[in-house]
Amino acid sequence: MRTRTYLGTDFKVWRRDQSWLWLVPVRGRARGVIGAAAGEIDAVREACAAIDEMLAEGDASARRRAAVESSGFDWAALLARLERYLARLCPASG
């Protein structure tokens, strides 16, 4: 099993039977992305593409969070209003 690094993310590539497998762990979580390819170069290319995709998703998530935080809304108050509205609409049977 070989460990490689792409854009600061370590990933593993190894051969099993007729295929090359790759694993990109997700930082800080007990999960990752795994795949299979016909050759080592293809496995490395696919792992790097997976890392690119994860980084792009992280950037989009950070942008969405920043937009929500800078919107000036009092989200707690809005959610409390929604909860009261739904409680009136669907009263709990008791």
The answer as to whether 66 is a domain residue is yes
Number of domain units in the chain: 1
The answer as to whether 94 is a domain residue is no
Record the tokens describing residue 83, joined without a space: 């909860």
Q: Which residues contact 80 (CB under 8 A, 6 or more apart)?
A: none
Q: Which sign, positive or negative, has the C-alpha torsion 66, 67, 68, 69?
A: positive
Q: What are residue 36's phi and psi, to 5 degrees?
A: -130, 150
Q: Global pTM?
A: 0.61
Highest mean pLDDT among 25-29, 30-34, 84-88: 30-34
**Full domain range(s) for residue 39:** 2-89
Record the tokens describing residue 56, joined without a space: 């792009």
**Which residue is it, tokens 């800078």?**
70
The answer as to whether 37 is a domain residue is yes
Output the pLDDT for position 22. 94
